[in-house]
Structure 1
Amino acid sequence: MWTKHHKQRHLGRLVTPILAAGFFAYFGYHSFNGDLGLEAAKRFEERRIERLAELDGLLKQRKELEREVALMSDGSLERDILDEKARYALNVSRPDEIVIFK
C-alpha cells in the first residue's frame, strides 16, 4: 500500500490566527476612534455640555427681551422705556444730555 506523506506546512497553521488578529485589530481600532467610538462619544458629550450652557444664556436673553416687551405693551406702557428705546434706535439725544456708551 502506497501512502503519500506530505511535508507539514507551518503557514497553514498561521492563516487563521493572522486573520483573527486582523479582524480584532480593525474592529478594536474603530471601537475607540471611529465615528461611533468612545472618543466620538466624549466629543459628543463635551459639545452637548457647551450647547446647554449656550441654551441657558439664550434663555436668559429671551426672558430679558420678554420683560422689555411687557414694559412696552399697551396695558402698562412706560414712557421711560419707550423713550430710551426710541432714542437708542434713532441715535438721538437732547442738547443738555450726556451720552455714555457701553
Structure 2
Amino acid sequence: MRFGRFVRHVVRATLPPALFIGLTAYFGWNVMRGEHGLHSYAAQLHLMDEARSAQKDAQAEQDVWLRRVRGLKEGALDLDLLDERARTMQNLARQDEIVVPYAEHDHLY
C-alpha cells in the first residue's frame, strides 16, 4: 500500500513537468525547423532574392530586345546602315571601300 502511494506520488510529481517539457521541445523544434519555421523562412527569403535577380535579368534582356525591335521599324531603318551591316555579317566588301577591322570584343552595334 505504501509503495503504491509512493508510485502515484512520483507519477503525479513528474508527469506534468515531463509533459510540459515535451510540449516545449515539440513547439521549439517546429519554430526552428518546422514547415513554417525560421529555417524555412530563411530559405524562402533566399528564393525570393534569386527570383528578383532573375526578374531583373529578364527585364534587362527584354529592354535589349525592345530596343532592337524598335530599330527595325520603317522610319528607323537607314538603308546605308542596313547595307553596311548586311555586308559586315556576310564578310563582303566592294573594291572601292576602305575596311577598318574591329577586334572580336568590339561590337558594331
TM-score, length-scaled by structure 2: 0.66
Matching residue of 1:52: 52
Q: CA deviation at 1:93?
A: 3.0
Q: Pairwise mapping of residues 5-20 of structure 1 onto structure 2 (< 5 A)?
A: 7-9=5-7, 10-20=10-20
Structure 2 alignment gaps of length 5 or more: 94-98
Q: Residues 26, 54 of structure 1: CA spacing in aligned structure 2 closer, same or farther, 3 A cutoff?
A: same
Rounded to whole Å, the distance in 2 between the matches of 1:21 and 1:93 is 79
Rounded to whole Å, the distance in 1 between the matches of 2:83 and 2:27 is 64
Q: Residues 82, 51 of structure 1: CA spacing in aligned structure 2 closer, same or farther, 3 A cutoff?
A: farther
Q: CA deviation at 1:81?
A: 5.4
Matching residue of 1:93: 91
The secondary structure found in structure 1 opposite 2:74 is coil
Q: Using CA pairs below 8 Å that are at least 6 residues apart, which structure has the higher relative contact order?
A: 1
Q: Which structure is higher in helix share?
A: 2
The secondary structure found in structure 2 opposite 1:7 is helix
1:16-42 per-position Cα deviation (integer Å, ceiling 9, x unaligned)? 211121111111101111121111111
Q: CA deviation at 1:74?
A: 2.1
CA contact (8 A) 1:31 1:37 kept: yes
Structure 1 alignment gaps of length 5 or more: none
Structure 1 runs of 4+ aligned residues shifted over 3 Å read 78-84, 95-102
